[in-house]
Amino acid sequence: MIRTKKPKIEIDRQALVYLHDKVLPRSITEPLPEIEFQCCEYIRTCEEFQGGPFSGEGKRKKIGSCTSDRFGNYIFNFSKSENPHLESSLFNLKLNKDCAFQFMPDILIQLCNKENNEVIHETVPYWNVPLFKRINICFPKKKLAALEDIICDEDDINLSESDAELILV
């Protein structure tokens, strides 16, 4: 058996970094002050409980809303009912999952139009959120354009991608 050496391929890492910076757009974030967010609990489908990918077909239960301050930060406090979680916890025990870990809710953050309560943008779920957690959220600028007429009448507020913070207590 004759073994031949594989040719070595040399990679110019600096050139790759340069191309990466030129090809991929950079995100620009700014605070999104005084915006109302709606928080929902996401109840996973059977496939998602069994380890499948997020489908978005699970039930949503509104657990409250909050408004960001002038710096784009907000604190959201919620209380949960035990019955839906008890059912999902018992289901997870059958799947040999940790009940205490799965007992924590899955949270979705929604940006809604105040006039007709239509959901403009929804984040993917934050799985198993503990009682106190910081979550940074970005809303795309295209989605915020729908709110521009509703939010402000002045030209000095620039709506851009946002980096709002959610702190669950």
Answer yes or no: is 156 within a domain. Answer: yes
Helices (H), the chain: 13-23, 46-49, 82-94, 99-102, 141-144, 148-151
Q: Are strands 73-76 and 119-122 parallel, antiparallel or unpaired?
A: unpaired
* Residue 94 domain-assigned (yes or no): yes
Q: Is residue 52 part of a domain?
A: yes
How many whole angstroms separate alpha carbon 38 and alpha carbon 83? 22
pLDDT for the residue 80: 63
Q: What is the pTM of this model?
A: 0.61
pLDDT of residue 152: 41
Q: Give domain status of residue 20, yes or no.
A: no
Domain span holding position 91: 35-168
Q: What is the pLDDT of residues 42-85, one digit of tens each?
A: 998 989 888 889 999 999 999 888 888 888 888 887 766 555 54
Q: How many domains does the chain have?
A: 1
82-134 confidence digits (pLDDT tens): 555 455 555 555 555 554 555 788 999 998 887 888 888 899 999 888 878 88
Query: Rounded to an integer, what distance in angstroms lies between the CA atom of residue 114 and that of residue 116?
Result: 6
Average pLDDT over residues 30-46: 87
Tokens of 56: 């978005």
Confidence at 1, pLDDT banded by 50, 70, 90: low
Residue 23 lies in a domain: no
Domain presence at residue 112: yes
Please report whether residue 26 resides in a domain.
no
Residue 2 maps to a domain? no
